[in-house]
Amino acid sequence: MSLNCSLWQDNSVSIKRFAFARFSEAAEQCFLLFALVLLMFLASLMGNALIALAIRTNPALHTPMYFFLANLSFLEIGYTSSVVPQILQNLVIKAPAISREGCATQMFFFTFFAISECCLLAAMAFDRYMAICSPLHYATRMSRGVCARLSMVSWGIGCTVGLGQTNYIFSLDFCGPCEIDHFFCDLPLILALACGDISRNEAAVFVVAVFCISSPFLLIIASYGRILASVLTMPSPEGRHKALSTCSSHLLVVTLFYGSGSVTYLRPKASHSPGVDKLLALFYTVVTSMLNPIIYSLRNKEVKAALRRTLGNRRVLTLG
């Protein structure tokens, strides 16, 4: 398929619009994937919104752990909403394309929410560490103000990295080809379209990615290392089980999020292929966000009870 790439001339030639490669020329395949992604997207939005609403409307859940969980739900809603509408559009339009400005905006919000979630997951691990390893000081050290500051720092780091990375990428000139063989404006693929030798640019972006992914992850590992050491010294089997059960949901979410992110962005460039990258993109943008509410609601009795109360109240208001 020939692509019409609009160009402008200002000392150098740069692409003004990017075209997305179609997932498949078979309309049936695109429709099936569209329906599947749409259902998962709606389930993700509904699940995360319900958890945030349940935590907001149930005073029993106004604790640091659930404060961070509500923040995680808001981040997941923003994270999926920044790219999934573009994925859905690309599956139904014959010649999907996006402007340079639209691509930059999408990249910023995707990076912003993703990095914020990395940092927030580390804050959640630190909260569990304080609750289990320092229970006598937990209420004072994890006060509402401390939790709010940790959350603001997470969002602030995400915003700073998102602005920095997006400005760095789109300060470059793009010579073509103008086609992105992906569902959305993912950073490595856009950088590959830049003019000239981009090896230094790729190295700089890779270093930032490694730092932003590995630093929170190391904090999570350190927190859970201390938690495990503390749990092993507990004399009561019931105490050990309760301590581990409060961490299991978070550990599973961390594994899904960091596992998919690391496989996508930290594996060698030579091992990348468009087909695999697209499948991984669907997993870390749609599937993980849909699974997180399920993980927390199925493995947490308090969240399940709060969801039942919230849904019950909504039915009463509807009937009334």
pLDDT in tens, 230-264: 888 888 888 788 777 778 888 888 988 888 887 87
List, in sequence order, every residue forming a beta bridge with 14; answer none if it has no partner.
8
Does 19 fall in a domain? no
CA dihedral 266, 42, 29, 259 (to 10 degrees): 20
- Given a cut of 90, whether residue 111 has pLDDT beyond it is yes
CATH number, domain with residue 90: 1.20.1070.10
**Statement: residue 4 has pLDDT above 70:** no
Q: Give me the residue label for tokens 């939005």.
A: 45
Neighbours of 239 (CB within 10 A): 12
Q: What pLDDT does residue 12 have?
A: 46
Q: Read off the pLDDT band of 320 (50, 70, 90).
A: very low
Task: Give the number of domains in the chain.
Answer: 1
The answer to whether residue 12 sits within a structural domain is: no
**Interval 149-166 mean pLDDT:** 94
The one-letter amino acid code at 307 reads L
Identify whether 165 is part of a domain: yes
Residue 217 lies in a domain: yes
Residue 318, domain member (yes or no): no
- Reply yes or no on whether the pLDDT at 208 is more than 90: no
Q: How far is CA 304 from CA 239, 242, 256, 298, 299, in A?
A: 22, 17, 21, 7, 8
Residue 262 maps to a domain: yes
> Domain span at residue 252?
25-306
pTM equals: 0.87
On whether residue 207 sits in a domain, the answer given is yes
Q: Say if 314 falls within a structural domain.
A: no
Distances (CA, A) of 142 to 126, 157, 273: 10, 20, 44
Of residues 300 and 226, which shows the higher confidence score?
A: 226
Angle (CA) 96 101 104, round 5°:
90
Percent of the chain at pLDDT above 70?
Answer: 90
pLDDT one-digit tens code per residue, 43-70 = 999 999 988 988 888 888 889 999 999 9
Provide mean pLDDT across the span 160-189.
Answer: 85
Report the mean per-residue pLDDT for the chain: 84
> What is the model's pLDDT at position 182?
84
DSSP summary character for residue 285: I
